[in-house]
Amino acid sequence: MNISFAFIGLDFTAEVDFEPLVPARISGPPEDCYPAEGGYATVCTLKCGHHDATFLTESNLADELNVAAYAACVAQLESDREDAAESRAAARML
């Protein structure tokens, strides 16, 4: 997934391996329960403007970058869902 996000006061663009969170199911019969899965992002490539910043993925900022990237992925998916819902509503009005 390609995203843009702000981190440490800078604007980044990144290619990210994103695994959305699948919440745990902890009620009901035991055979229907399962633990939470996913809920992470790993930054593969990173740019700040036109400059390669991928070296930051191997620094002590890597975990914080991945958390910021995950938040940006979740926000992007939510925005995409809202846009799709608006498009469907507009199509129904025609």
CATH code of the domain containing 34: 3.30.300
Q: What is the pLDDT of residues 40-68, one digit of tens each?
A: 999 999 999 999 999 999 999 999 999 99
Q: 78: which 2 tokens?
A: 């939510």
Question: What is the predicted pLDDT for the residue at 90?
Answer: 87
Q: How many domains does the chain fold into?
A: 1
The answer on pLDDT for 94 being more than 80 is no
Q: What is the residue range of 62's domain?
A: 2-93
- Spatial separation of the C-alpha atoms in residues 47 and 1, rounded to whole Å: 14
47, burial (CB in 10 Å: exposed 0-12, middle 13-18, buried 19+): middle
All residues at 6 or more sequence positions from 70 whose CB lies less than 8 Å from its CB, including other chains: 18, 39, 40, 41
